[in-house]
Amino acid sequence: MKEKHVSEAIEFRRSVRIYDNSKQIESTKVKQCIYQSTLSPSSSNMQLWEFHHIVSNKKKKEIIKNCFNQSAAKTAKQFVIIVVRKDLWKKRLKSNIDYIKLNLNKNNIDERYYKKALKYYKNIVPIVYNDFYGLIGFIKKISSYFFGLFSPIYREVSSTDIRIVSQKSAALAAQSFMISMSGIGYDTCPMEGFDSLRIKKNLNLPSNTEISMIIACGIRHKKGIFGSRFRVPMDEVYSFH
């Protein structure tokens, strides 16, 4: 199948609820789409995500059961589960710092840029991500409000704010994955109906991780799309300033 341009892939993408049982998808191609999703932007380039690619029948049965046996799960050929790993922020922070140091003299970029980036990761990011049972986040939130009375300031500093930021980054990666799949003619369905606790146990994940979404993958059945695509009118969601 000829690969689609980005605009074609976006048009082709639908949330497919039933997959064709007679058509398989290649795990290597799905893995390549996962790789492409890792190229998505993330807040401070922290990349606090993991991608669990489910292909074994045993694991698939566990996932299907814990997705409440919905049709998109029952008929899926594979699953990609996107997990938010806010708990790995120190490890990912170190990776960014190591990368900056390694490339300081390799690229033809002003050294001041690297020094500024290094200072950001060493001084600013730990302030944003450090917390102690929400107490430090609460103090940071009050401080940002106070200083924000006098000048613009970053306000998303509580533990809940950082959780949302991490989820947004994971969602960007999820969309990149689904568009990549559409580009090669594969279908997906992002599912939020699942038992997150049991899914984490299925994947042997720490309790403080979060499941962003479970994406069912396959080739659409002719009955797999429930009606034409509905979108609210553009003038309800678009503002030109």
pLDDT in tens, 16-29: 999 999 999 999 99
What is the pLDDT, as a whole number, of residue 108? 67
Is the model more confident about 134 or about 234?
234
End-to-end CA distance of the chain: 42
What is the pLDDT, as a whole number, of residue 102? 86
Domains of the chain, with CATH numbers?
1-225 (3.40.109.10)
Average confidence (pLDDT) over 195-219 = 97
What is the pLDDT, as a whole number, of residue 59? 97
What is the pLDDT, as a whole number, of residue 16? 98
Q: How far apart are CA 56 and CA 215, in angstroms?
A: 15
CB contact at 8 A, 80 and 177:
yes
User: Which residues on neighbouring strands pair with residue 187, listed in sequence order?
Assistant: 218
Residue 199 pLDDT greater than 70, yes or no? yes
The secondary structure of the chain in percent helix, strand, coil, rounded to multiples of 5, reads 50, 10, 40
Strand order across the 187-191 sheet: 49-54, 78-84, 210-218, 187-191
pLDDT tens digits, residue range 51-109?
999 999 999 999 999 999 999 999 999 999 999 999 999 999 999 999 998 887 676 67
Which helix (H) or strand (E) segment holds residue 99: the answer is: helix 89-102
What is the pLDDT, as a whole number, of residue 225? 96
What is the pLDDT, as a whole number, of residue 136? 75
pLDDT tens digits, residue range 134-190?
677 777 888 887 778 888 978 887 888 899 999 999 999 999 999 999 999 999 999
